[in-house]
Structure 1
Amino acid sequence: MHLIYHIVSSEDWSKQANLTIYEADSLHTEGFIHFSEKEQVSGTISRYYQNVPDLLLLHIDVEKLTHDLTYEMATNKEFFPHLYGSLNKDAVVHIEKL
């Protein structure tokens, strides 16, 4: 099983609790949802989520995704997974509190 990870606030995740899909704000503003590989999570947290309370780390099974996942270079010259569509929640295999 190949896992990727998504960081989300508890509040944002709970707003979509009754849905079978999850749509991050970036899906509407950038056209995709940002994800990280395991070794990229800590860097993503330190760059974008310092001092943000109540975060969750979603563990996602890539094989269960129903939309296209593409690896694209970010501004730091690393390739990150981007999901071009909503995240089907049945692909989330674990939710970790950060």
Structure 2
Amino acid sequence: MALIYKIFRQDEFTDLEAAGETLGAPVDLADGFIHFSTAEQVAETAGKHFAGEDGLKLLAVNPAPLGDALKWEPSRGGALFPHLYRPLRTSDVLWSRDLPLVDGAHDFSGLIDG
């Protein structure tokens, strides 16, 4: 199973846990959907949108149960990215882990498949 990934700041993750669901981070709210990345895309996403930020959480989600609410749409460089058009629920999240910042870069070692 190929998972998709979401990066949250700690406060965004805390809000998800407290409410049981979220419409996402400010960029998600502005765009009207929740941005995800594949295993191949997530490190670039971290570097582009979270450069140098510590205290991040990496969430893994199985895309299959999301059904028609998940759309694969062109984004960065025309690559297809998964976008969720409904709230993300805690029940959607397979796992969440700290995303360490090592020497100024996010270390995905042992965190993702692919």
Q: What is the TM-score when the length of structure 1 is the normalising length?
A: 0.88
1:9-55, Cα deviation, whole Å (9 max, x unpaired):
11111123222212213343111000001111111111111111101
Shift, 1:66, TM fit: 6.4
Counterpart in 1 of 2:91? 90
Counterpart in 2 of 1:4? 4
**Computing the radius of gyration over CA atoms, which structure comes out larger, 1 or 2?**
2
Over 3 Å counting, the alpha-carbon distance change for 1:21 and 1:83 in structure 2 is same
Over 3 Å counting, the alpha-carbon distance change for 1:18 and 1:88 in structure 2 is same
How far apart, CA to CA, are the structure 1 residues paired with 2:20 and 2:5?
18
Q: For the aligned residues, what is the CA RMSD? A: 1.6
Counterpart in 1 of 2:112? none
Secondary structure at the counterpart of residue 64 of structure 1:
helix
Counterpart in 2 of 1:54? 55
Letter in 2 for 1:19: A
Asked if the contact 1:27/1:84 (under 8 Å) is kept, the reply is: no
Which segments of 5 or more consecutive residues in structure 1 lack a partner in the other structure? none
Letter in 1 for 2:51: Q
Q: What is the TM-score when the length of structure 2 is the normalising length?
A: 0.77
How far apart, CA to CA, are the structure 2 residues paired with 1:44 and 1:69?
18
How far apart, CA to CA, are the structure 2 residues paired with 1:42 and 1:75?
13
How far apart, CA to CA, are the structure 1 residues paired with 2:6 and 2:94?
12
Which segments of 5 or more consecutive residues in structure 2 lack a partner in the other structure? 100-114
Counterpart in 1 of 2:37? 36
